Amino acid sequence: MNVDQLRAALPQWVEASRKYTSEGNVASYIPELAKAPAHALGATIMGRSGEVIRAGETDSPFTMQSISKVFTLLLALIDNGEDGVFAKVGMEPTGDDFNSMLKLELVEPGKPFNPLINAGAIAVSSLIHGDTPAAKTERILSFFSETAGGAKLTVNEDVFRSESATAHRNRSLAYFLKDNEVLGEDIDVEDVLQVYFKHCSIDVTCEQLARMALLLAFDGTDPLTGREVVPRRYVQIAKTFMIMCGMYNASGEFAIKVGIPAKSGVSGGILALVPGEYGIGVIGPALGSKGNSTAGVHLLETMSTALDWRIF
């Protein structure tokens, strides 16, 4: 299917998937997220030459939420190397909810199973270099903006405050990590949480998300400029985690039905990519029971089937 055919087909696929918004609910445990329109659905696809194909509600910004964990992982790898990161987090899927603390207590040595669950992402946030939470957040924003092709990304302060005020489970996880010595003696738990909540609250549009995904699709080298932004090895690690853990504890089903690397967030966003071809940004705020956009997942499955995108 060429670009013109894809441009003609995408609006039809979006409208066919829109009915699946009725099978989900907008996240309400973060009050600001509950304001999102439940029946919204949009998608942007970006190709290697920067061509953009879009349909549905793609213009309104939304917060990255857990999608940001992919990029803080990349930055932590740049800052600390593989050994430094994986001394604090594991490399295995959990099969548990993204905010579960069950295995932190049951499994020695008590470090998070992977960087994409909340406990793992909090540990990764502690590894970002910077003298203060503000300095770390500024580095994260600068790095995220670079991966988005130079777009100036910002923190949604309303979502940040809402998230921080209601994050009782995440605070429990962070203090548990402190007790397990995953967070070192010199690390202030509230400082780490501020960094974590801030990067989850970064606003993006579907096009910016697709641009970030395009960089991953080309293993960290920007196909529009030819410049390496992230070392290829680190992007390979991130994409492997996306396949194993990127869609929470529905990752196995997504891998079988859709078959491409992806990462979701509870704002309803999904970043997905077709290696060597496309970066994809999707927004559909209505979520299923496992925290993924109901219509967004259906749309990606439709596209993957029609275009034979599965990588295995």
Cβ neighbours of 256 (radius 10 Å): 10
182 is catalytic: no
- Is 248 assigned a catalytic role? yes
- Active-site choice (26, 69, 234, 251): 69
- Which of 70, 89, 266, 282 is catalytic? The answer is 266
Residue 145 annotated as lining a ligand binding site:
no
Does residue 69 carry a catalytic annotation?
Answer: yes
196 catalytic? Reply is: yes
Q: Which of 66, 251, 264, 267 is catalytic?
A: 66
Residues 6+ apart with CB under 8 A from 27: 33, 34, 266, 267, 268, 285, 287, 291
Catalytic residue among 20, 234, 248, 278: 248
Residue 39: burial class (beta carbons within 10 Å; 0-12, 13-18, 19+): middle
Q: In a 10 Å sphere around its CB, with 0-12 CB exposed, 13-18 middle and 19+ buried, how is residue 112 labelled?
A: buried
Q: What phi and psi values does residue 14 have, to the nearest 5 degrees?
A: -60, -45
234 is in an annotated binding site: no
- What is the H or E stretch that residue 14 is in? helix 3-18
20 is in an annotated binding site: no
Is 234 one of the annotated active-site residues of the chain?
Answer: no
Which of 196, 198, 235, 239 is flagged as catalytic?
Answer: 196
66 annotated ligand-binding residue? yes
Residue type, 196: Y
Tokens encoding 256: 């079988």
Asked whether residue 155 is marked as a ligand-binding residue, the answer is no
Report whether 119 contacts 104 (CB < 8 A).
yes
Return the active site residues. Answer: 66, 69, 196, 248, 266
Residue list, annotated binding site for substrate: 66, 118, 163, 170, 196, 248, 266
Residue list, annotated binding site: 66, 118, 163, 170, 196, 248, 266
